Amino acid sequence: MSQITGSEVLRIQYANHTIMTNNRIASSIPVLILLLHLAAVTGTRAQQFEWKTGFFGFFDNREYFNEYTTPQTMGGENLSLEAGFAVDSRNRFRAGISYTYENGSKGEYLLPDIILYYKGDWKPATFYIGSFPRYQLMSHPQAMLTDTLMYYRPMVEGMFLEHRRDWGYQNIWLDWTSRQTDTQRETFLLGASGMIHKGIFVYRHHFLMYHFAGPGIDIPDDHIRDNGGINAMTGLDLSEKTVLDTATFTTGFLMSYDQVRNVYDMRFMWGWLSDLNVNYKGFGLHGIYYRGEGQVFLYGDGFYKSGNYGRADLYFQKTWLNRIAGKLEFSLHFLPGHLDFAYAVHIRATMDGKIHLGKNRQ
């Protein structure tokens, strides 16, 4: 079975997801209206009405000329609007829309994704269920989950549970990427990540499982595919010991597994991954080096199919008024005897507010 890159998987699923969204959005709009109506009529019981709007603009040009990845230019804007009510300080409901317009797609009418979720904030645990924003919730290495997820799949449709303390965190999540019908496949991602930070010592681990099954009506010679892997890294955080704002180095193993049932048995690919990140007053360097067997993560960055790969991201980032953040990045990709490059611009802005409605119910 041919190997495809994470970006290609996302583009295919972005198109399929749009078709599915178009078919179901008409029946979902009344649900949104009902939820917002309930927020209004129960105002005397709810603590507060809340709203949030966000903008994310991206331009990403990738000059790749190798056997592992595809050259492409991606640009677009995402606008999200959500509102809801807090029953008390720990329980809240939100509903809204998230719309991504990809530059150059004039004439292709794409309906927005639905935002519809419950959030439980029971310190030290946080829980989401529904369709909720991905941003700042997940932190897998790009070898496992490509960075273009933020472009083409900004929403998670499933569940997220995290336990967070001063010393670190552990989370587990489910993202249902396609519901099975007669013609649509059943696919989902199951992941987990954790971190322990004690003094200058840092430990991180990540797990990912991707289930890729067929549609309800069988396709001849089509088979279920099992894909995923594990990563564990340890290292040092010297941010508080130097003049740098950020100074971290971690290193550890990366393993992926892959199986197409009734075609080939489970295969395991092992390698070693190192990560360096330094930043001073917004100027930074993020370096990665991987050495080992070619990795097979269907949602991962295709460069890791090479057994010898290095990456250096030179960037500048700045935040204004705690509401607008910008990042300019230039990336070099090193393969044996070959060099590729990319550059990207990201702008993100958020606004939110709340209106007190009734008595506090802690």
| Degrees, nearest 5: CA angle 78-83-87 | 145
Task: Answer whether residue 21 shows pLDDT above 50.
Answer: no
- Asked if residue 85 is part of any domain, the answer here is yes
Domain of residue 339: give its range.
Answer: 6-356
What lies within 8 Å, CB to CB, of 150 at 6+ separation is: 56, 58, 134, 135
The residue type of 351 is: M
- Asked if residue 327 is part of any domain, the answer here is yes
3 state DSSP class of 69: coil
pLDDT at 348: 97
8 to 13, 132, 184, 329: CA distances (angstroms): 9, 23, 17, 22
Task: Answer whether residue 41 shows pLDDT above 90.
Answer: no
Tell the residue number behind the tokens 């007053």, with chain if given.
281
Q: Return the number of other C-beta atoms located less than 10 Å from residue 215's C-beta.
A: 15
What lies within 8 Å, CB to CB, of 169 at 6+ separation is: 162, 163, 194, 195
Tell me: the pLDDT tens digits for 222-259?
Answer: 899 999 999 999 999 999 999 999 999 999 999 999 99
- Asked if residue 362 is part of any domain, the answer here is no
Task: Answer whether residue 66 shows pLDDT above 50.
Answer: yes
Task: Please state the pTM of the whole predicted model.
Answer: 0.86
Tell me: the pLDDT tens digits for 97-145?
Answer: 999 999 988 766 677 899 999 999 998 999 999 999 999 998 899 999 9
CATH number at residue 273: 2.40.160
Q: How far apart are CA 353 and CA 358, in angstroms?
A: 16
Beta strands in the chain (DSSP E): 48-63, 72-86, 91-102, 113-122, 125-133, 155-165, 168-178, 187-198, 201-212, 225-237, 246-260, 264-280, 283-292, 308-320, 324-335, 338-356
Confidence of residue 198 (pLDDT cuts 50, 70, 90): very high
- Asked if residue 361 is part of any domain, the answer here is no
- Asked if residue 292 is part of any domain, the answer here is yes
Confidence of residue 15 (pLDDT cuts 50, 70, 90): very low
Q: How far apart are CA 89 and CA 348, in angstroms?
A: 27
> What mean pLDDT is predicted for residues 13-41?
50
Q: How far apart are CA 315 and CA 135, in angstroms?
A: 19
- Asked if residue 309 is part of any domain, the answer here is yes
More confident residue, 19 or 34: 34
Task: Answer whether residue 30 shows pLDDT above 60.
Answer: no
Mean confidence (pLDDT) of the chain: 88
More confident residue, 88 or 313: 313
Q: Where are the alpha helices (DSSP H) in the chain?
A: 6-41, 149-152
> What mean pLDDT is predicted for residues 184-197?
95
> Which percentage of the chain shows pLDDT scores above 90?
74
pLDDT at 111: 78
- Asked if residue 32 is part of any domain, the answer here is yes
Task: Answer whether residue 43 shows pLDDT above 70.
Answer: no
- Provide the number of structural domains found in the chain: 1
Q: How far is CA 316 from the centre of its chain?
A: 21
> What mean pLDDT is predicted for residues 69-77?
94
